[in-house]
Structure 1
Amino acid sequence: MISKPVVAGLDFGGTKIAAAVGDLTGRRLGTTTIDSRVESGGATEAMRRGLTAARELLAEVAPDRELAGVGAATLGIPYDDRVELAPTYPGWGELPFGRLIREGFPGVPVRLATDVKAAAEAELRWGALVGCDPGLYVNLGTGLAVAIVAGGTVITGAHGASGEIGYNLRVAADVGVDAAERTILEHVVSGQALETTGSARLGRPVTAADVFTMARTQPDAAVLTDEFTQELAMHVANLAIALDPVRIVVGGGLVGSWDRIEGSLRRALDVAVPFPPELMVARFPSDAPLIGALALGVEAAGVVLGAEAFA
């Protein structure tokens, strides 16, 4: 019997690197996760360890099967010779990302994407954005970004930067002001922003999830979450006005506080948008970038994806 080929997917995040091996339908055969933060070697060592973990997983779960494609997702915008817009991970921007992935898997077709676009790919193929044209994926995690789905594909933009709303202008006075001289949206609306602001204003170290939990009983924390959700809702509503999506899907770590976020988003959409879209949590709220990386691997292998892969 001839063994069927497999694909690999890698998700490079700020705190962890996840790898998965799947068959040509995208069904996972094995998964592994390692810490991306290393004491020495920095970004280069993290990349090396991630590639090693993926190859070891392949040897474990598919030792005699051909590797037909590799998908890799990362924070920032990946190119063959660098990663743009990844300021929170020292050294990551200087890595020749695509070249290192290809060198790690010689002769194997490779597809690259941002982590948020990979997550949207997973939702488009197998999750909550199936059949939505257009659709919008909103990622509420350490950072803030969206992915636009139209015509059955995830829109990348001319430079791969479509959906990077973390750089949005917030007020009219921001017009014409360099990003380094103003407060961009991600510095106010993101998990990292809420952690920073919450720790300062609440007088002790807290995570974004802590602030949302405290907001149930503590008025000062509730003020913080209200400010957060109000500004988020404004930008999501403006996107919905511009795109007229069928559905908006929200993923990322902060969906654990969805009960504190959903109401503000729903009200803003219902009041401001001429044709209010559906709003729901992603099918894969936490590991969508890894599932999307597998989808990229399947596409790299030249296989037509099937919606039944995760049925």
Structure 2
Amino acid sequence: MRHVIALDVGGTGMKAALVGVDTEPSPDRPGTPRPGAPGHPALLHQARRATGRERGPDAVVEDILDFAAELRAYGEERFGTSALAAGVAVPGIVDARNGVAVYAANLGWRDVPLRRLLGERLGGVPVALGHDVRTGGLAEGRIGAGRGADRFLFVPLGTGIAGAIGIDGGVEEGAHGFAGEIGHIVVRPGGAPCPCGQRGCLERFASAAAVSQAWAEASGDPGADAADCAKAVESGDPRALAVWQEAVDALADGLVTALTLLDPRTLIIGGGLAEAGETLFTPLRAAVERRVTFQKLPSIVPAALGDTAGCLGAGLLARDLLNPTSTTPRR
């Protein structure tokens, strides 16, 4: 069974898989074959473990290398063959072209040559390194909610907000690796300060972290979070409705700026805040529609792959190394 190694490294945990080379993961049931559809299996083996960042950045790197080596050994034992390539998705600033994790505040990394280190640990197999959001966007575009769209924008709403710009089966990196940083569009000039140095950035108003903070203050419960706010919205709590609408309006402002520049066919919204379902999507679609003038209104849909998107995308990056000209057909 020909396969590649896929790793998705987060701030607190790592997700990993062995992905079949000759088939694609099913968008309907990641990890299982799609019945009757040649070319569509999937995740042959999955594993998770803690990132262990409390032990320092060097220990995290060593854990990644050890995890990849264990996956390689498992594949050799289970399938009788070594992994042909590896893909890894990491947070922060990533130089995908040179295979360097340039900076990751939550992992304490600076200029980690992760592609070279993984290649050496895995016996010289080719390794692809990608940004976590763009890698997740690649998976959503090829096998998830953006499948069939020639242009899409994937926006996960988590602790922060980032974006992945999908074009014809690939994801735009940008000249300096910053393409898609929609969370740092200023939507409220002079507003709350952002760690990036600006004031009024989108992620200070519409991320899951921002909604959690606003609802904790409004409700008087320091332990309340965005999921609690969504439940209060569904029950008609006027304080929650005000917090939620402020976030939706800020998000709509940022998304309309992005669609004005990028003209995507589909907007894919993921991350923790999207788990609220229509509590988010119904007012968001209405808010975006109110704001568009000459722009073509895109489809606004929830992400399909959940927290497996990064790992699936890392597998796709690895497979692309084996056949660089191959992309999923678009219509």
Q: TM-score range by the shorter chain?
A: 0.7 to 0.9
Say if 1:272 and 1:200 are closer, same or farther in 2 by CA, change over 3 A.
closer
Count residues with an aligned counterpart.
300
Among candidates 153, 172, 191, match of residue 155 of structure 1 = 172
In the TM superposition, what are the counterparts of 1:123-272 in structure 2 within 5 Å?
123-173=140-190, 179-180=196-197, 182-203=199-220, 204-217=222-235, 218-272=237-291
TM-fit CA distance, 1:253? 2.4
Q: Which amino acid aligns with 1:296?
A: L
Confirm or deny: 8 A CA contact 1:32 1:53 kept in the other structure.
no
In the TM superposition, what are the counterparts of 1:1-311 in structure 2 within 5 Å?
4-24=1-21, 25-26=23-24, 27-39=42-54, 41-63=55-77, 64-79=80-95, 80-84=99-103, 86-87=104-105, 89-93=106-110, 95-173=112-190, 179-180=196-197, 182-203=199-220, 204-217=222-235, 218-273=237-292, 274-302=295-323, 305=326, 307=328
TM-fit CA distance, 1:29? 0.6
- Mapped to 2, the partners of 1:45 and 1:268 lie a distance apart of 45
- Mapped to 2, the partners of 1:60 and 1:209 lie a distance apart of 38
Taking only aligned residues, the RMSD between alpha carbons, in angstroms, comes to: 2.5
Unaligned runs of 5+ in 1: none
Residue 34 of structure 2 corresponds to: none
- Mapped to 2, the partners of 1:282 and 1:181 lie a distance apart of 29
Unaligned runs of 5+ in 2: 25-41
Q: SS at 1:162's partner residue?
A: coil
Say if 1:197 and 1:147 are closer, same or farther in 2 by CA, change over 3 A.
same
Say if 1:141 and 1:171 are closer, same or farther in 2 by CA, change over 3 A.
closer
Confirm or deny: 8 A CA contact 1:119 1:290 kept in the other structure.
yes
Confirm or deny: 8 A CA contact 2:5 2:18 kept in the other structure.
yes
TM-fit CA distance, 1:70? 0.9
Identity of aligned residues (%): 31
Confirm or deny: 8 A CA contact 1:69 1:110 kept in the other structure.
yes
- Mapped to 1, the partners of 2:11 and 2:252 lie a distance apart of 26
Structure 1 range deviating more: 165-174 or 211-220: 165-174
TM-fit CA distance, 1:179? 4.0
Q: SS at 1:169's partner residue?
A: coil
Confirm or deny: 8 A CA contact 1:240 1:269 kept in the other structure.
no
Confirm or deny: 8 A CA contact 1:7 1:294 kept in the other structure.
yes
- Mapped to 1, the partners of 2:52 and 2:226 lie a distance apart of 20
Confirm or deny: 8 A CA contact 2:53 2:107 kept in the other structure.
no
- Mapped to 1, the partners of 2:121 and 2:210 lie a distance apart of 35
Residue 32 of structure 2 corresponds to: none
- Mapped to 1, the partners of 2:109 and 2:214 lie a distance apart of 25
Q: SS at 1:145's partner residue?
A: coil
- Mapped to 1, the partners of 2:259 and 2:100 lie a distance apart of 34
- Mapped to 1, the partners of 2:307 and 2:196 lie a distance apart of 30
Name the structure, 1 or 2, with higher relative contact order (CA <8 Å, separation 6+).
1
Say if 1:155 and 1:81 are closer, same or farther in 2 by CA, change over 3 A.
closer
Say if 1:61 and 1:206 are closer, same or farther in 2 by CA, change over 3 A.
farther
- Mapped to 2, the partners of 1:304 and 1:62 lie a distance apart of 27
Q: TM-score, normalised by structure 1?
A: 0.87
Q: Which amino acid aligns with 2:43?
A: R
TM-fit CA distance, 1:244? 2.0
Q: TM-score, normalised by structure 2?
A: 0.82
Q: SS at 1:280's partner residue?
A: strand
